[in-house]
Structures are given as structure tokens and as C-alpha cells.
Structure 1
Amino acid sequence: MKNALDGKHARNTGASSPVGELLDHGVDVWRLAAPMLSCVFSLFGRGFFGLDSYEMVHLLLAVQGAQFLTLWQQYLTKTMYYNWVYDIGQYYMIGFYLMTYFDKKSTDCWQTYGYFFGSNAHVIEKC
């Protein structure tokens, strides 16, 4: 899940180019957002605790929009800065998958009422 080796390897071997860097980060936008939101959508389904299809699209656009803004910042400042949230988000995804895998009730562990006047899905949406 870590994604830093291909760019480092290209820079070390002298094979890097602006187009390659753009494609690498552009693919990262899709690679980051799609599995994360698919995980959320598959955990909650479309039942009472589930996400609506429109909410799923809005979440996908929000995550990808934030990633594209990071790429735009890189274009303007000529430096790429991923803070610690990028790595921690990937570790949380691994944790969610493992907790769901090892839970005896499968996805029922995520279908509980939260603290924000609704279901657990609403808690995740508001965070």
C-alpha cells in the first residue's frame, strides 16, 4: 500500500519526467479514493445504516478533489508534501479490513448507533 518507491527509483535512475510524475500522482488519486470508499460502501451496504449512492459519489469527489488540490500545490510550489495523515489513512484502512475479517459477525460490528444522532455511517460522514 505504500507508494514512494516508484518515484524515488525513477529519480535515482534519471528516468523521471514531468509527464511521468503527473501520471504517477494522477493514478494515485484514483488508487487512494476508490478502495477507501469502496471499503466504506461495502461495510455499510445500502440498508438502514448504509450510504446512499449520491452520498458515495459526493464522498468520492471530495477525496479526489482534495488530492487534486495537493497536486495543484505541487505544480505551483514545485514541492510535493504529504503530511502524516496520508500514511495514517492507509493504516486505518488495513485496520478496518482486519477487524472486519476477524469479527465473528462480519460487517455487523460496524452497524451500531454512533454518538452523532444517527448511525455509525453518519459518524464517519461527519468526521
Structure 2
Amino acid sequence: MDEAIRETEVENLYVLPAGVVPPNPSELLGSEKMKQVYAELYEIFDQIIFDTPPIQLVVDAQLLCSLVDGSILLVRSNHSSKENSKKALQKLQTANAHVIGSIFNNNKMKMDGYYYAD
């Protein structure tokens, strides 16, 4: 673990790169070993963020959300449809994820005084 964790230029921010994708990532993410890795990381760090592929593509996010304290759904403006966003949230809920919020990004909004206008 010590060899794999990388320090960044940002103070107190570290990265653990995923490395080479194994032939069976879902089996690996759902394994007891992954639970041990998470427990070890949690002993070292106060907060851990897992960046996963889109929940609609693979089961990685669903597997990881069972390990973590909270999940955040990222919705990309002009890319993610309302229907797909709802389905993604349903998949998180089915996996018993504790959804703590969402991020709506890539939205081009203009500031008009104190208010945003589309």
C-alpha cells in the first residue's frame, strides 16, 4: 500500500492509481480483499474518494457504494438525459447506497447580477 499511494502537489491530497484493469474487476471490487484495502485506507486517511466509471456502464460503482459512507451522483449537463439520471439514482438506491448529494456539471450559465440566468 505504501508503494502504491502517491503524494500530489496539493497538501494532504494523495492518489492511489487504479493500475492495470484486471480481467475480472467486479469480482475484485466485491471481494474480501477490497474490504481489507478500504479498511486499511480508512486507518490512514480521514476521507477517501473513489472515482468510478458511470453506473450505467458497469457494476463497479454499485459494488463500491456498499463499502463507503456516502455516494455522490455526478450528472453531466447536455450529456446525461433526465431518464438516465433517474435510472442511475435507482441503481444506487437498489445497491443500498447512502446518496449524500449530486453534482450537476458542464452547465453553461451566465451570471446576471446576483442570480444565474440560462
TM-score normalised by structure 1 residue count:
0.25
TM-score normalised by structure 2 residue count:
0.26
Q: Which has the higher contact order (CA 8 A, sep 6+)?
A: 1
Structure with the largest fraction of strand: 2
